[in-house]
Structure 1
Amino acid sequence: MKRISLLLAMTAVLSGCQTMGPEPELNTRSVYSGDNSLLYQVRKQASSADQAMQMAEMAYQAGDLDQSLYQYLRAIELEPKRYEALVGVGRIHRERGNTQLAEMAFGEVLTNQPDNLDALAEMGMLRLAQRDHKGAQDLLFKAVELDQRRLGSDKGSPHDVAALKVDSKSPLKVYNALGVLADLNNDFPLSEAYYRLAMLIEPRSVLVQNSLGYSYYMAGQWPDAERTYQRGISYDASYKPLWRNYGLLLARMGRYEEALSAFEQISNRAQASNDVGYVCLLEGKLDDAEQFFRSAIEQSPAHYDMAWENLKRVQQVRRIRQMGGNPNSVAAIPPSAPAVQ
């Protein structure tokens, strides 16, 4: 696909298009035309690729992904071989779940720069999200090998974590993602070893604290998980995935009021009550589950369809029990997937 088609496709997603038809034969100027369009404003603001990259990174850190994406596209327009900008474009699409566009961006970078560490890391995380564990491992291992080569380590191998070296320039996301991959394979000692490496790269990374806490949670080491989540919160209390995992842990431990408070950091009281109720339901604590679902409904009676559906599940499980059926008819609790962003 031509680069202009890639830009057009990405712009279409930003415009709210859920499906894309045949790609129009438009030039770059026509895409950016119009004084009232954000693209046109960006074109007037960023006069160099370096300036566009700086603005893109600032917007990304501020959570303004639309502005960040436009700025990355502006950098590519000004400097077509600015592959770090294309990695940024792919990262945003990966985080938004636009898999095809993310793959397109990372694929183009790796076609031109097969050893681009950032692109390897991002494509590896994309494969991990797609549950392609072998594909993810191959990409992430290649990134580790490149990092070890940069550090001048001839002994460092992804298969021998104890021999790996890292520094502040090492790709945090790569080592964190390898920890997540080990967790998915129930190899908790290996995952912890990768997370320890990641913490050497960035000691106060909330991403790594969340992943390590999740690992302890999956391994049944709940006190360790709690301490790790609390440490992560002390680093950055705005990180939503951590609060959700912390809430799940507290609910599993039967500390419902604390779980409600944790969930309320990322949602309203009705949603928090529903989440705690769902944990109770999955653990077979039907009376507690019913109490939390009814509380959620009372707080949002007109709009909280999910709580009604979950309350029906409680009643179904009760009927099954009364009929002598399988009381474990509800699936085991699915822990929140570890974040790899």
Structure 2
Amino acid sequence: MWIKIKTIALTIALLSGCAASDNTDEFNNSLYAGKPIESLTNAEPPKNEEEALARGDMALANKDIDLALYEYLRSLSFAKAQYKDKTLYTVGKIHLSKPDFELAERAFKASLQENPDNVGALEELGSLYSRSGRTDEGMSYFIKAINADLIRMGATPNLSKETLSIEQISQLKYDDMSPDGAYNGLGVLYDVQGQHEIAQSLFVDAIEIDNGNMDALINLGYSYYMSQDYPKASVYTKAALKRDNNSEKALNNLALIYLAQDQVRQALNVFSRHLSMPEALNNVGYFLILQGKAEQAIPYLQQAIDKNPSYYEVANKNLERALSMVREGGSTSSITVQ
């Protein structure tokens, strides 16, 4: 799937009056992965950084990703290159779209070597490390991204893991160019740690920065679910579904909210909006088990099996687990979900 990337945004006017090439280095292919270079273009080499970037922007607009990557990397070889950190950030985003996480990480780090306060590169590294389970590094880069943005806005970059609090978050300065992804990502990490109020404050900031940030809106609802504030959880989750009524994540979260309030029929109806009936019944049983309601789960799992006895093996496994829990009063480990 194509991922939209913000390009360097240079104008064609920059190309006027081009002098002879100031290229001093050979093309560095350490950040390139794609079609053979010789097959990409027969055009004359660009005369300067601006021309190479304009070619990259045009190729990207035409969704010719390999050519765009090649032209952006060519722009880095000019002695007077001024946009290296931004170009390397764009190169990293292209690698994310492939996806090639190793080269993306390398490009974002190279961007930071050119400009340690490149907000986008810091934010993307935070996301990369968080998704790969390196949560301490992810948190560190998200905080660095927010601090770099504070510098951009002329504010004091004083955010740290040691001092972060609801009060400090409420005083953060931001605008519509601020890294809402860093606020959202940091919120997720604090939510996982059980610090829900801090997480909720960060999600609210992310939404205020970008009102279209669905992830932050869904995460805010789920955070309230985690803190057992089910009315607020329902409000924000339903608000997300008003924007996208097919969001599986929001639908699953709404079903969990209903189950937590013993509204099992409503939860089943929500699951069935995007799942087959056997899958919906199994999900109800599965999540009832997770909520410590194994006895209530049994009839739903039995119905899932009855509706698809030959295929729905997963419901059989969950039923075995539920029956075992009822007999023994044991833990909820080793549960299978599809």
TM-score (norm 1): 0.72
Which residue of 91, 94, 98 corresponds with 1:86?
91
Paired residues of 1:179 and 1:195 also in contact (CA < 8 A): yes
Please state how far the C-alpha of 1:301 moved relative to its aligned partner.
2.8
Q: Measure, in 1, the Cα distance between the counterparts of 2:125 and 2:275.
A: 31
The structure with more helix, counted as a fraction of residues = 1
Deviation, structure 1 residue 275? 1.0
Partner of 2:55: 48
CA deviation profile, 1:37-74 (whole Å, cap 9, x unmatched): xxxxxxxxxx9321333355xxxxxxxxxxxxxx4433
Q: Tell me, in whole angstroms, the C-alpha distance in 1 between the residues paired with 2:103 and 2:311.
A: 34
C-alpha separation between the residues in 1 aligned to 2:125 and 2:105? 7
Identity %: 26
Which of structures 1 and 2 has the bigger CA Rg? Answer: 2
1:184-223 to structure 2, matched below 5 A, reads: 184-223=192-231
Structure 2 counterpart of 1:225, which letter?
A
Gaps of 5+ in 1: 12-25, 34-46, 57-70, 321-326, 335-341
CA distance, structure 2, for counterparts of residue 104 and residue 298 of structure 1? 52
In the superposition, relative to structure 1, how do residues 244 and 228 fare at CA in structure 2: closer, same or farther (>3 Å)?
A: same
CA 1:198–1:250: 2 relative to 1, 3 Å:
same
1:77 aligns with 2:70: yes
Name stretches of at least 5 consecutive residues in structure 2 with no aligned partner: 1-26, 42-53, 77-86
The answer on whether the counterparts of 2:295 and 2:326 sit within 8 Å (CA) in structure 1 is no
- RMSD, aligned α-carbons: 3.0
User: Structure 1 residues 285, 183: closer, same or farther in 2, change over 3 A?
Assistant: closer
Question: What is the rounded CA distance, in whole Å, between the counterparts of 1:78 and 1:264 in structure 2?
Answer: 48
Go from structure 1 to structure 2 and tell me whether the alpha carbon gap of 1:100 and 1:293 turns closer, same or farther (over 3 Å shift).
farther
Q: Deviations over 1:112-142 (max 9, x none)?
A: 5433322211110122223333211221111
| Match 1:275 to one of 283, 298, 302 | 283
After TM superposition, the runs of 4+ consecutive aligned structure 1 residues lying more than 6 A away are none
Does structure 2 retain, via aligned residues, the 8 Å contact 1:155–1:164? no
Partner in structure 1 of residue 146 of structure 2: 144
2:309 corresponds in structure 1 to 301
Deviation at 1:264, TM superposition (A): 3.1
Paired with 1:241 and 1:109, the residues of 2 have a C-alpha distance of 33
Q: 2:242 matched to 1:228?
A: no
Q: Number of matched residues?
A: 280
1:301 alignment partner, SS class: coil
Give the alignment partner of residue 185 of structure 2, picking from 174, 177, 180. Answer: 177
CA separation of 1:296/1:74 partners in 2, compared to 1, >3 Å: closer, same or farther?
farther
User: Could you say what secondary structure the match of 2:262 adopts?
Assistant: coil
Deviation string for 1:57-96 (max 9, x for gaps)?
A: xxxxxxxxxxxxxx44331112214334323234336xx7
**How far is 1:210 from its partner?**
0.8
How far the C-alpha of 1:332 sits from its partner, in A, is 11
How has the CA–CA distance of structure 1 residues 143 and 293 changed in structure 2, closer, same or farther, with 3 Å as cutoff?
A: same
